[in-house]
Amino acid sequence: MSDNSGIMILAEAPNGKITGLTTELLGAGRRIADIAGEKVSALAVGAGLSGVEAELIAFGANTVYTVDDPSLGRYTGDAYLSVLEKVCQQLTPRILLIGHNSTGRDLAPRLAFRLRTGLAPDCVDLQIDNSTGALVAIKPAYGGNVMAMLASKSQPEVVTVRPKTQEPLERDAGRSGDVVKLDLGLGTLASRAKVLDRIMHTYTGIKLEDAEVVVSGGRGIGGPEGFKLLEELARSLNGAVGASRAAVDAGWVPSDMQVGITGKIVSPRLYIAVGISGSVQHMAGCSRAKTIVAINKDSEAPIFERAHLGVVGDYKNVLPQFHETCRELLVG
Amino acid sequence: MNIIATVKQVPDPEAPAGAFRIGPDDRVMVSPTVSSVLSPYDESAVEAALQLRDAHGGKVSLVCLGTEPDDSFLHEAMATGADEAYLVVDDMFQNGDAFATAYALSKAIAKIGEYDLIVCGRQASDTDAGVVGSVIAESLGLPSATVIRKIEVVGDKLNAERVIEDGIEVLELPLPALLTMTSELYTLRYASVMDIMSASEKPVTIWSASDIGADAVELDDLANRSILRKQFIPVSQTQCEVIGGDSAQEAAANLAQALRSRKVI
Ligand SMILES: Cc1cc2nc3c(=O)[nH]c(=O)nc-3n(C[C@H](O)[C@H](O)[C@H](O)COP(=O)(O)OP(=O)(O)OC[C@H]3O[C@@H](n4cnc5c(N)ncnc54)[C@H](O)[C@@H]3O)c2cc1C
Ligand SMILES: Cc1cc2nc3c(=O)[nH]c(=O)nc-3n(C[C@H](O)[C@H](O)[C@H](O)COP(=O)(O)OP(=O)(O)OC[C@H]3O[C@@H](n4cnc5c(N)ncnc54)[C@H](O)[C@@H]3O)c2cc1C
């Protein structure tokens, strides 16, 4: 065994604001660090990071390391890879947690391979083995029909963590921690893959990932018109509209509305699945919702095994009255 | 333009949950009624490769690390237009993890030698790992980018649209490069009966570990970094309360009331 120690998380703060996923990683890091009796550090890589350090401490970091460089403002493969490789060699963390988002997917496999260590990708749960103190990471396979428990023999143990699976800590500005600026002496950082352009979606209304209520429609909606009913309901409930891949593939709604293993991961207070059968690939994106409601005309649909509440019926007959009663309850 | 596409055979990802069991050695057993298919993202990688070849000339080669020396799957996969295929099979690679798989594939690709672009799936739809592609790039020292929805070749470079949170990024990469593909914009073309027949004539080269110069010590180091401790089938604890009523309208109203009494709305 090497003498690596501590848990490090890779923080992301585009535009100087830490992401929700970063707070989730800190929450997970804190939880396992407390069991294992270790410390949590956050590594922030970017350009213009002042102010970010205090936020990371408020969300649970004992130490914040920053690599602040104008060329690191946005993720690019080779540059971030060099930074992370150097940091891991210098600071020798035992566990490195990275979010399983576009950055983590791109970075983690090459990094782990380069560090001569293992990788547990897209994990939904992290445990510490009571007898050995080793990290065990749980990863869904076969779309979520199977769970695999992965461990590592080499360090750092690199884990990418699926968004919305870990509880962040309450923000507490009273927490204290150290800030260390790293000078890695890497010289000019360039990546062979150059970013020519970034085209961002524009949103009207609430973002799907942030919504407290999500109303999603599937193939059972039958066409784009049906989604109007869902939009009206979502508006009344102050929520956002999502969709299954079947609805996206049919061209009824744009692909950024897709919920699931290859779409958005959401964890709202309330998830209403309308005309969605409940495939594992879809449920992987919403199974962390506090309350799942199914409206489906087939009482045998698998969604009824995953939902908390359900109505069996044609959504065209169910939704208008449901909307009406919700509205009455909300004003009343 | 010579393009290599890595292709993996997986159990049909839309098989019902009941089709999966954990075997005695903690490996996943899939019901024999579930058919094997080309992993869906690999289909998109193959389609992207075919479109580039059709536009710029050259050839498309498929590479697979298989479990049996059965090349019929690759003949089928070539029916949509790939020119040739390579199948790596060796006991040495059995039960390997993603790093071991990437090692075998990178050795095979190095042996094929002439390529401008490698395309892989963003993740195999059985393990959803998304590791093999990037690690092949790292082993071969190539630039890479992941979750690409569109590729265009411009001179001796390529432009790739990478899907990121809330948008896309347009990247420029020098060739040769490796990209992992997602499925939004590339749907694999159909093969006609003629295509299927002529595909059986296309060449499949079968290689062993020694053919590709794989080293047992190196492989052992890679394959032992991660440990698959055990696998299990998750049990759902949710009990669905089905809300009824004399009519759909009444059930709908009762549902709203049930949410209110649970303080959800
Ligand atoms: C590699 C891979 C990745 C995938 N990723 C995703 C993903 O990220 N997200 C995703 O959603 N899917 C994904 N899928 C697809 C997934 O397997 C399912 O095919 C898909 O989720 C099905 O969508 P659906 O439930 O809308 O359609 P269906 O399964 O066709 O279900 C439609 C449902 O609507 C009901 N219905 C019909 N009419 C009505 C009506 N009038 N009123 C009420 N109910 C009605 C039916 O009873 C049925 O249950 C993926 C698949 C693969 C292979
Ligand atoms: C959670 C988990 C559970 C596992 N359970 C089992 C099990 O029960 N039984 C078992 O035998 N193995 C099991 N394995 C091993 C697994 O099959 C290997 O990890 C696999 O062969 C490597 O690929 P991947 O699925 O991880 O690929 P990914 O990294 O997800 O694949 C990305 C892309 O790489 C390419 N690729 C991947 N594999 C191949 C290949 N063999 N040939 C050609 N191209 C390829 C494809 O283009 C694919 O789209 C498990 C692995 C994990 C992570």
CATH code of the domain in which B140 resides: 3.40.50.620
- Asked whether the predicted pLDDT for residue A1 surpasses 60, the reply is no
Residue B253: helix, strand or coil by DSSP?
Answer: helix
CA angle A114, A96, A62 (to 5 degrees): 140
Those residues with Cβ within 8 angstroms of residue A172's Cβ, 6 or more apart along the chain or in another chain: A58
B193 and B264 belong to one structural domain: no
Starting from the CA of residue A298, give the closest ligand: 1
> Is residue B149 one of the residues assigned to a domain?
yes
Calpha distance A113→A154 (Å, rounded): 11
Chain B residues close to A15, C-beta within 8 Å = none
The amino acid sitting at A292 is I
Tell me, yes or no, whether B148 lies in a domain. Answer: yes
Disruptive mutation site among A142, A201, A264, A326 for chain B (greatest number of B CBs within 10 Å):
A142
Asked if the Cβ–Cβ distance from A305 to B137 is below 8 Å, we say no
ipTM of this complex:
0.93
Residue type, A98: I
Q: How far apart are CA B223 and CA B220, in angstroms?
A: 5
Burial class (CB in 10 A: 0-12, 13-18, 19+), B256: buried
Using alpha carbons, select from A74, A76, A103 the residue that is nearest to residue A14. A74
* Average pLDDT of the residues in B10-34: 87
Q: What b-and-e string marks burial along A117-127, b requiring 16 or more CB atoms within 10 Å of the CB?
A: bbbbbbbbbbe
Residues of chain A found within 8 Å of residue B139, distances taken between Cβ atoms: 113
Identify the band that residue B175 occupies on the pLDDT scale cut at 50, 70 and 90.
very high
Dist. CA A317 → ligand 1 center (Å): 20
Give the residue among A68, A79, A88, A59 at the shortest CA–CA distance from A192.
A79
Mean pLDDT of B93-118: 95
Question: Is the CB of residue A114 less than 8 Å away from at least one CB of chain B?
Answer: yes
Residues B119 and B16 in one domain: yes
CA of A78 from ligand 2 middle (Å) equals 25
Q: Minimal CA–CA distance to A66: which of A31, A16, A20, A116? A: A16
The model's pTM is 0.91
Which among B20, B29, B25 is positioned nearest to B233, based on CA atoms? B20
Task: Tell me the mean pLDDT in the region B123-127.
Answer: 92
Contact B184 A255 (CB under 8 A): yes
B166 and B191, same domain (yes or no): yes
Answer whether residue B209 shows pLDDT above 90.
Answer: yes
Give a yes or no: residue B56 inside a domain.
yes
Same domain, B180 and B119: yes
Contacts of B137 in chain A (CB under 8 A): 110
Residue A2's pLDDT is 54
Range of the domain at B262: 235-265
Contacts 24+ apart (CB under 8 A), A326-330: A326/A233, A326/A236, A326/A237, A326/B256, A326/B259, A326/B265, A327/A236, A329/B256, A329/B257, A329/B260, A329/B265, A330/A236, A330/A237, A330/B265
Residue A88's contacts (CB-CB under 8 Å, 6 or more residues apart) are: A8, A96, A111, A115, A156
3-class secondary structure per residue, A274-328: ECCCCCHHHHCCCCCCCEEEEEECCCCCCHHHHCCEEEECCHHHHHHHHHHHHHH
pLDDT score of B237 more than 90: no
Q: Is residue B44, in this structure, part of any structural domain at all?
A: yes
Indicate the length of chain A as a whole number.
Answer: 332
The angle, 0 to 180 degrees and rounded to 10, between the axes of the packed helices A315-331 and B248-261 is: 40
Q: What is the full DSSP assignment across A162-203? A: -TTSSPPPPP-TT---EEEE------S---SSEEEEEEE---
User: What is each CA distance from B178 to A104, B11, B153, in whole angstroms?
Assistant: 17, 25, 13
pLDDT in tens, A303-313: 999 999 999 99
Band of pLDDT at residue A93, cut at 50, 70 and 90: very high
Q: Please indicate, yes or no, whether residues B241 and B214 belong to a single structural domain of this protein.
A: no
B199 and B245: one domain? no
Please, what's the b/e burial string for A175-209 (b: 16 or more CB within 10 A of its CB; e: otherwise)?
A: eebebeebeeeeeebebbbeeeeeeeeeeeebebb
On whether both B139 and B86 belong to a single domain, the answer is yes
Q: At residue B113, what are phi and psi to the nearest 5 degrees?
A: 85, -65
Which one is predicted more confidently, B235 or A18? A18
Residue A88 Cα to ligand 2 middle (Å): 27
B24 and B113 housed in the same domain: yes
- Structure-block tokens of residue B203: 């060449």
Tell me if B243 and A311 make a contact (CB, 8 A cut-off): yes
Considering chain B, what percentage of its residues have pLDDT values greater than 70?
100
Does residue B143 have a cis bond before it (omega within 30 degrees)? no
Contacts of B241 in chain A (CB under 8 A): 308-310
Q: Work out the average pLDDT over A189-209.
A: 88
Selection from A244, A119, A22, A187 nearest residue B138 by Cα: A119
In a domain, B228, yes or no: no
Q: How many domains does chain B have?
A: 2
Closest-CA residue to B100 (of B126, B131, B125) = B131
| A positions 165-184 inside 8 Å of B (CB) | none
Q: Are residues B137 and B263 in the same domain?
A: no
What's the pLDDT tens digit per position in A124-151?
999 999 888 899 999 999 888 899 999 9
Average pLDDT value for residue range B91-105: 93
In a domain, B51, yes or no: yes
Domain for residue B230, yes or no?
A: no
User: What is the B249 CA–ligand 1 centroid distance (Å)?
Assistant: 25
Nearest CA to ligand 2 atom 26: B98
Which tens digits make up the pLDDT trace of A273-297? 999 999 999 999 999 999 999 999 9
- Cross-chain Cβ contact A198/B167 below 8 Å: yes
How far apart (Å, rounded) are the C-alpha atoms in residues B39 and B85? Answer: 16
CB-based contact, B28 to chain A, within 8 Å: yes
Q: Which tokens in the block code for residue B41?
A: 């993202």
Task: Give me the residues of A, 122-151, that contact B with CB < 8 A.
Answer: 122, 136, 139-151
Asked if the model's pLDDT at residue B223 lies above 90, the reply is: no
pLDDT for A147 equals 93
Average pLDDT, chain A: 94
Does residue B97 share a domain with residue B61? yes
The band of B148, judged by pLDDT with boundaries at 50, 70 and 90, is very high
Task: Tell me: do B121 and B249 sit in the same domain.
Answer: no
- Using a CB–CB cutoff of 8 Å, tell me whether A304 touches chain B: yes
Measured between alpha carbons, how far is A324 from B169 in angstroms, rounded to an integer? 42
At residue A121, the 3 state secondary structure works out as strand
In a domain, B61, yes or no: yes
pLDDT category at A21 given cuts 50, 70, 90 is very high
Strand partners of residue B151: B160
Closest C-alpha among B181, B5, B94, B99 to residue A121: B99
Co-location of B254 and B142 in the same domain: no
Domains of chain A: 7-181 (3.40.50.620), 208-331 (3.40.50.1220)
Quick one: pLDDT at residue A25?
98
Pocket around ligand 1: residues whose beta carbon is below 6 Å from it? A 218-220, 244-247, 258, 260-263, 275-277, 279, 281-282, 285, 295-298, 301, 314-316; B 13-14, 40, 125
Phi, psi at B174, each rounded to 5° = -75, 155
CB within 8 A of A92, min separation 6: which ones?
A: A2, A3, A4, A5, A155, A156
